Structure 1
Amino acid sequence: MAKSLRNWLIQHASVKSITVTVLVLTLFVNEYLVYWVQSSRWPVFPEVDRKKEMVVLLVSDPQLQGIQDEPGFPVGMVARWDVDRYLSKTFQLAYSYSQPDIVVFLGDLMDEGSKASPDEYQSYFTRFNSIFHSAKNSKVIYIPGDNDIGGEGRDFKTFKKVSRFENHFGNVSGVVNTRFIDILKLDISLHTDVPRGTEEKLKEYKSKMNSPFRIIISHETMLPKLKVYIYPIIKEIKPQLLFSGHWHKSMHFVCDSCLSDNADTSHWPVHRRELSDIDDYMYMDLTNSQGIQELMIPTCSYRMGVTDIGYGVALINKEKTVRYTVLWLPRRYDVLYAYIYIGIFLLIFYIFGRLCLPKLLYSSVKRPYYKYR
């Protein structure tokens, strides 16, 4: 048996065939099997009563890579192709898993949206729609981030940037009425005093909100900010739940008395919990009329420099309860490093194997036979 195997190897094995076999197996594992294994670890999707519940798929900070800040050809082109492909694959898996009623994009849709030329912006928009094309089968809500319209550091927000975003993705702020939930899209800086005119806008938004279940979505997280900036907003709208992104992390903020009539501008009893280890659906009771909770959704792009990335899934019940989890995604950098290591190994194998492998296999079979007397 062993001898016949050696003979087969001598006849069929070659450095080229072994190299090709390893490459094919590597591609299969890294580009298909890894995604299947990771998605199989997601919690079992619970039974949903679509009459009483809505499924929301939350996408934060995809930040499509641009042209200006990326290396030149061909590195930049390959990098953009790889991250686009990764986002497309993982989003399709998350969408098929959840079959959402609503898909919410929580800002920073593009990495260079704020500073892109008109032609660049149009190309980014085309790529975005190609990557997240499945979302069109659900109700889609977009809000901008600082990378889309400016507003962080010296990248100032301007009317032109806001108008360009609205021409492509809809209003940056406003109310979305959907069945038993009213969703307020809020684009406002939360680092300074509430801008002039905000009170009138909030009253206008409130007049359009008829549902007892209210949600605010914002790119920037809200509850960790100073109370003096946040309280005027939540006091007027009285939401039960907030969705945010920006930090690229998965976190849960709870405040049991943030909607109470408290004149103390410094007291803000917000408790935070990291959700980097969440592996099943967590249950949230939002029936406390004085309380408010916020879910921060992690980035879904491996280019953001964090290891824990994913999509959020929220099952929202009209009785003011929520089941929530994060669909964690494969760590793409580990795969890319694996390509490098395997490539180096195959290069060494190819150089030395062509010279040594046939001789070793041949000598293992054609050993001299000596007959001792």
Structure 2
Amino acid sequence: MFANLPESPESLNLLGNKEEEMVALFVADPQLIGIQDEMGFPIGALARWDSDRYLRNSFSRVYEHTQPDVIVFLGDLLDEGSKAFKDEYLSYVERFNSIFYEKKYSKTIVIAGDNDIGGEGADMRTPFKVARFEKHFDAIEGVVNHMFVDFIKLDIRYGDVEARRQAYRRMVPTLKAPFRIIINHESVMTRRKENVYPILKFVQPHAVISAHWHWSHIYSCATCLEENEDLSYWPYYERDSKNNRGFEEIDLTQQASLDEIMVPTCSYRMGVPYMGYGVAIINKSGLMKYTVLWLPSRYPLLYIYAAVLLVSVILLCFEFIFSSGIQKQIFS
């Protein structure tokens, strides 16, 4: 089912010393299809059923293969979460919990995306949307500690620099681990440097994990956390990692460098040709190995289904017409 799924967890070194390593599974932009923007019955119902089935089967296989210690949902859980009516929203939450059923067996971290609580274009973020998300999923900010990593939900897009600093100061007492990883729905390093660099300097993260753009990218900067960094220039470079079938190795102990991993969407409905789940194996020593478990395309198979259905209907029509003609001859 998966383009680069190894034959067994052993080939990914996932069965090592659990005290020395942890496996993190990153789920980006599942965007469960809603009701308002889809066609009516039966097309909309079939679309939701097929998309949900694809997500459920792929996540179940990936979970079984990786046996993650922690699962991080990187936002945009729902396509219409920001504008859903009450009953619609509750049905989406129920579908989400059903699709990602195995999450209850691992430490789970959830952050919000713009489709969940607004914030992109004319879709405004409101306290009501945030409160509803936090009631059914998780707080949009905070620190989640697991083993030797602090996952920091800092919601970097919103608020000025000083507001983000104050938010982080409130989190400081909860920091316990030697390594800090910022998890944010939108990319951090591609934003205006003046808006994020002071925050990065203050937080001193060892890595950033993001999503939102639906494709697989890695942004690396060798000097981004140096004391004398030029505020007018981002010295990072980006790599399109959609063709990567191996591991990227990131040394979390490097004080001046910073890497941001952008995880691709796991939903074929986002219209991108490459979907997958991000997997990181983080060693207590600070070595992180990251890869993507790529998923198969869905649309070509759906086109085949549609073509077979069309041919079947045409043949049935011909059979009906032919049978009617024979009956007329018999009874004439």
TM over 0.5: yes
In structure 1, the partner of 2:67 is 99
In structure 2, the partner of 1:126 is 94
Whichever residue aligns with residue 149 of structure 1, its letter is I
In structure 2, the partner of 1:170 is 138
Q: 1:135: how far off?
A: 0.8
Q: 1:206: how far off?
A: 2.7
Which of 284, 306, 314 lines up with 2:272 in the alignment?
306
In structure 1, the partner of 2:225 is 259
Q: Check the 8 A contact 1:227/1:267 in 2, yes or no.
A: yes
Q: Check the 8 A contact 1:218/1:245 in 2, yes or no.
A: yes
Whichever residue aligns with residue 282 of structure 2, its letter is I
Which of 2, 6, 12 lines up with 1:45 in the alignment?
12
Whichever residue aligns with residue 311 of structure 2, its letter is F
* Matches of 2:5 and 2:307, distance apart in 1: 25
Normalized against structure 2, the TM-score is what? Answer: 0.91
Whichever residue aligns with residue 92 of structure 1, its letter is S
* Matches of 1:41 and 1:334, distance apart in 2: 25
In structure 2, the partner of 1:275 is 241
Q: Check the 8 A contact 1:224/1:270 in 2, yes or no.
A: no
Higher helix share: 1
Taking the TM superposition and a 5 Å limit, the aligned residue runs for 1:1-373 are 35=1, 39=5, 44-46=11-13, 47-189=15-157, 194=160, 197-262=163-228, 264-349=230-315
Whichever residue aligns with residue 298 of structure 2, its letter is R
- How well do the aligned residues superpose, as a CA RMSD in angstroms? 2.1
Q: Check the 8 A contact 1:244/1:297 in 2, yes or no.
A: yes
Q: Check the 8 A contact 1:213/1:318 in 2, yes or no.
A: no
* Matches of 1:241 and 1:267, distance apart in 2: 20
What percentage of residue pairs aligned between the two structures are identical? 47
Whichever residue aligns with residue 287 of structure 1, its letter is T
Q: Check the 8 A contact 1:312/1:326 in 2, yes or no.
A: yes
Q: Check the 8 A contact 1:42/1:327 in 2, yes or no.
A: no
SS at match of 1:71: coil
In structure 2, the partner of 1:30 is none
* Matches of 2:4 and 2:36, distance apart in 1: 33
**Superimposed CA distance per residue, residues 160-210 of structure 1 (whole angstroms, 9 cap, x where no aligned partner):** 1000000011210000111111110122326xx725522211122233213
Q: 1:263: how far off?
A: 5.4
Q: Check the 8 A contact 2:21/2:281 in 1, yes or no.
A: yes
Q: Check the 8 A contact 2:2/2:296 in 1, yes or no.
A: no
Q: 1:114: how far off?
A: 0.3
In the alignment, structure 2 segments of 5+ residues that lack a partner are 323-332
In the alignment, structure 1 segments of 5+ residues that lack a partner are 1-34, 357-373
SS at match of 2:12: coil
Q: Check the 8 A contact 1:57/1:314 in 2, yes or no.
A: yes
Q: Check the 8 A contact 2:30/2:267 in 1, yes or no.
A: yes
SS at match of 2:166: helix
Q: Check the 8 A contact 2:214/2:270 in 1, yes or no.
A: yes
* 1:341–1:247 CA distance, 2 compared to 1 (3 A): same
Q: 1:343: how far off?
A: 2.4
Q: Check the 8 A contact 1:38/1:330 in 2, yes or no.
A: no
Q: 1:267: how far off?
A: 1.6
Q: Check the 8 A contact 1:56/1:315 in 2, yes or no.
A: yes
Normalized against structure 1, the TM-score is what? Answer: 0.81
SS at match of 1:323: strand
Q: 1:355: how far off?
A: 10
Whichever residue aligns with residue 57 of structure 1, its letter is L
* Matches of 2:227 and 2:200, distance apart in 1: 12
* Matches of 2:318 and 2:48, distance apart in 1: 35
Q: Check the 8 A contact 1:42/1:328 in 2, yes or no.
A: no
Q: Which has the larger radius of gyration?
A: 1
* Matches of 1:93 and 1:184, distance apart in 2: 28
* 1:61–1:203 CA distance, 2 compared to 1 (3 A): same
Q: 1:93: how far off?
A: 0.5
